[in-house]
Amino acid sequence: MNSFTYTDIFDTKGIEYIIIIGFLMLIILFWNILNKPLKVKTAIQKVLGSLTANILKTPRGLSYSNNHTWSHLGRSGEAKVGINELLLHLTGPVALKTIKTSGDEIQKGDIILKIKQENKSVEISSPITGKISNINPLVKENPLAITEDPYGKGWIYQINPSNWKEETSDYHMADEAQTWFGKEIERFKDFIAISSKKHAPDAAPIVLQEGGELIDNPLVDMSQEIWVDFQKQFLNHN
């Protein structure tokens, strides 16, 4: 009859196996630590999605100015003015504060609105000259209306324009506006790379997905310094 001998491996090479097991556990621990920021970043990007020109609405008949406002001349001869969808996708949810009141005479380039997010804010200037005839009550009652429908119920001011044709002649419309939005997104990528390098070196990789696409709402977690730079480069001209 064959005999069997039981050997406890830990009696022979116990220390070596314990060291190997311990080393493997350390590798697993460090791997999880190193990949945690990547997993968080991926999860955030998955939730927020990508910001591309294809997701933006560009209703025909609207004139889109270079300072990210829009205006539309109605049959009554009065124009409605608001902020475009790309700006709202860049900033994320914001609170709105109107600067002017009904009856005010304004010039193209005058500050008419402040948009604020926590302790950060930027100012918006008028795309046209004229007299304010009405302010959308939803701006105060339901600020989300601006985000949900920026070109419909989300208008902000109604203005009786005094120089409509000349002041809007070089604004973007229809398919050309869609192309312009795409160029603005690319310009924003360059902007955020430079501005974040100056104010927040770790920010740029977070707002860019694999393939170089922007996450939606990239300015949400940016500092006021970056918002100031954004104001100067994207909102201070018509």
Sequence-distant (6+) residues with CB within 8 A of 166 are none
| Mean of per-residue pLDDT scores for the chain | 83
144 pLDDT higher than 50: yes
Instruction: Output the pLDDT for position 50.
Output: 83
The string of pLDDT tens digits covering residues 94-142 is 999 999 999 999 999 999 999 999 899 999 999 999 999 999 998 878 8
Instruction: Output the pLDDT for position 141.
Output: 82
Q: Do 63 and 129 lie in a common domain? A: yes
Instruction: For 210, list phi and psi in degrees, rounded to 5.
Output: -60, 135
14 pLDDT higher than 80: no
Instruction: Output the pLDDT for position 42.
Output: 38
Q: Do 160 and 206 lie in a common domain? A: no
Tokens of 25: 């556990």
| Residue 53, domain member (yes or no) | no
| Residue 188, domain member (yes or no) | yes
Amino acid at 1: M
Q: Do 3 and 78 lie in a common domain? A: no
Global model pTM greater than 0.85: no
Instruction: Output the pLDDT for position 44.
Output: 41
Q: Do 197 and 162 lie in a common domain? A: no
Domain of 121 in residue numbering reads as 58-176
Query: Which of 25, 48, 71 marks a domain boundary?
Result: 48
| Residue 223, domain member (yes or no) | yes
Sequence-distant (6+) residues with CB within 8 A of 14 are none
* Over residues 169-184, mean pLDDT: 94
| Residue 93, domain member (yes or no) | yes
Q: Do 207 and 145 lie in a common domain? A: no
Q: Do 33 and 105 lie in a common domain? A: no
In the chain, the number of structural domains is 3
Q: Do 153 and 214 lie in a common domain? A: no
Q: Do 63 and 168 lie in a common domain? A: yes
Nearest to 156 by CA among 116, 217, 112: 112
36 pLDDT higher than 50: no
Nearest to 73 by CA among 198, 147, 165: 165
1 pLDDT higher than 70: no
Sequence-distant (6+) residues with CB within 8 A of 46 are none
Q: Do 71 and 170 lie in a common domain? A: yes
